[in-house]
Chain A
Amino acid sequence: MELLVALAVGLMTATGVYLLLRKRSFPVILGTMMLTYAVNLFLFSMGRLAVNRPPVIQVGGNGYTDPVPQALVLTAIVISFGTTAVIVTLALRAFLEAATDRVDLAGTTEKDSAES
């Protein structure tokens, strides 16, 4: 299970970083989303991985798992959702204004937009 979670975090981070370095705005947005998924999973596992344990202390229960990272992840998800919405809006507005989806909005000639 530790290996699985670690692999998932690592793979999503690697994908996110790769996509973030692309020059079109849509892959960049996907990259930031992948990164936020990776970090959410990472944060979640910071309370240690435990299976079948409630995040509250129960009398007679068999232990509990740390609820704080779960609360943090919830906040982080909401915030990253909001910022993703903002960046999508910005990218869309930039595309509509400049008719290109390059992140620097450079080159609206045919040659430039045919590239990549």
Chain B
Amino acid sequence: MNHWIMFPLLIPAVVAPLLILTGRYDEVLSRVFSVGGMVLQLLVAIVLAVQAFGGEIVRYELGNWPEPYGIVLVLDRLAATMLLMAAVIGLLVALVSIDNQDEQGRHFHPLLLLQMLGLNGAFIAGDLFNLFVFFEVMLIAAYGLASHGGGRGRLAASFQFVAINLLGSTLFLIGIGLLYAVTGELNLRELGQRLPAVSEAQRGLLSCGIAVVVTVFALKSAVFPFHFWLPATYSRSAPVIVALFGVTTKVGIYSLLRFYASVLAGNEACFSPWALSWVFPAGIVTVVLGALGVVAARGLGAMASFAMLSSGGVLAMCVAGFEPERIGAGLFYLVHSTIAGACLFFVVEGVIRRRHDVGDALSSSRPFVRHGLLGAGFLVAAIAVVGMPPLSGFVGKLLVLDSFKDSPWHAASWSTILGTSLLGLVGFARAGSVLFWKTPLLDVDSGPPEGGRIHTVMTFIAIGILVAVLAMMAIFAGVITENLRITTEQLLSGRVLPHD
């Protein structure tokens, strides 16, 4: 049996405790371990991607306990894509944190690795309960990272973040319990096969269970009316970490897609449609709220958080109807928006590093230590996030708009996406002109406002890499969309395949 699929879990699960035991007070050692772990993880993700894009779906049975009795890990094209994306962003976050973020509190690198463990696990979990467990691993690490660095605002925000996510976990367990009660199964594939056998009398319970689980996924991906925690937490956490939280937020959308494809697809007659039908209008509201937030935000971090909220809403709109073509477009936009969001948050990190006194506030009253590259980085990241040509955001939005062409939601989706793009453009143009044109500049020679050297080398390298990835995505959009179309086909045909 091929054991490669275990490595995305084993690497962080081994490196993080090792790091806590040996290098917790040693800066250099922890950086080496962390970056080394992330590089290994990226290599494994590449191997897995090559394997998965051969077309085979790997179902790995832990301890050789046969399905459906044992725990199973599943690797298909979609999971491999997500693993690869998470590994890239994880490596860059580890690199950027070397600039100085990891000095602001202890245990930064172990938490980062544990966060990766949760993310990787959630992508390859083959049953609902393990999905819950990996969600928790991911969230517990996220709680630590969200409050990293301390300070009043950050602590208040992370307390609320923990409380809302504890409520989410509770709801998830209730949903899992209901589904288990009516089907006697938690393995995603088995669940899908047992759904038609649920008796008429228990269909109500089944619908409730599905609705609760879908609600939890919406909460994790910050879809209206469960969106309020995202801007509150993300705008106050250290931006370099929020770049990784962008992936965490996408896990909700990913899980919804996975849950639909393996359990609900083809069984629509078994449960009442209201369990799912609210996702599309909720997505529209989320997009609009996010765009309004971008215009209204008073800090660059808040602005980037609202942009992230908005892109999550677009994804919810894309997966809501579960049309193959639209899911393909949504997947392209998912990868793009995660990378573009990370890029923007790295820029925010660079801005805060250079304006100690006012941080990321959008005011021109305090001087700014000059760096032309930072301005250029902001311009490119903003273009990508808003979805202007020539970067992949334009292609992504075009694909999404195109996929709504023949749907009954045509008018609503086109007007929402085009209108909010305009709002985003206005918001980012204003932020850019205030921060980079109106703010008086200090020369590098006169030194930073509050002593000490400013290290932003890694930040610039990371921004450069992400911009290159975005440009590649735009150039090779044809190849990528074709691959994502096959990915969607594989995802949706997964449960039609006969038992093997």
Contact-residue bracket for chain B: 20 to 34
* From A79, A90, A105, contact of B136 by CB (8 A): A79
- Tell me whether B155 is interfacial, beta carbon within 8 Å: yes
**A residues within 8 A CB of B144?**
86
**B residues within 8 A CB of A76?**
173
Given known A-B contacts A25-B159, A69-B180, A105-B156, A90 and B147 have beta carbons under 8 A apart:
yes
In whole angstroms, how far apart are the Cα atoms of A103 and B162 in the complex? 11
How far, in Å, is A38 (CB) from chain B's closest CB?
A: 8
Number of interface residues, chain A, beta carbon within 8 A? 34
* Chain B 159-186 near chain A by CB (<8 Å), digits 1 or 0: 1101100110110011011101100101
Is B180 a contact partner of A90 (Cβ separation < 8 A)?
Answer: no
**B residues within 8 A CB of A36?**
166, 170
In whole angstroms, how far apart are the Cα atoms of A43 and B257 in the complex? 25
Is B173 a contact partner of A105 (Cβ separation < 8 A)?
Answer: no
**A residues within 8 A CB of B163?**
20, 28, 32, 87, 103
How far, in Å, is B445 (CB) from chain A's closest CB?
A: 37
In whole angstroms, how far apart are the Cα atoms of A82 and B155 in the complex? 19
The listed residue with most A CB atoms (<10 A of its CB), out of B143, B169, B173, B174, is B173
* Chain A 22-58 near chain B by CB (<8 Å), digits 1 or 0: 0001001000100110110011001100000000000
**B residues within 8 A CB of A69?**
177, 180
Q: Which of B283-324 contact A (CB under 8 A)?
A: none
In whole angstroms, how far apart are the Cα atoms of A98 and B156 in the complex? 9
Given known A-B contacts A83-B162, A86-B162, A103-B156, A39 and B170 have beta carbons under 8 A apart:
yes
Interface residues of B (CB under 8 A from A): 129, 133, 136, 139-140, 143-144, 147, 150-153, 155-156, 158-160, 162-163, 166-167, 169-170, 173-174, 176-178, 180-181, 184, 186
Nearest 7 interchain pairs by C-beta: A94-B155, A105-B156, A46-B177, A46-B181, A32-B166, A43-B177, A39-B173
| A–B complex contacts, Cβ < 8 Å, 11 sampled | A25-B159, A36-B166, A39-B173, A43-B177, A46-B181, A66-B184, A87-B166, A90-B158, A97-B155, A104-B160, A105-B153
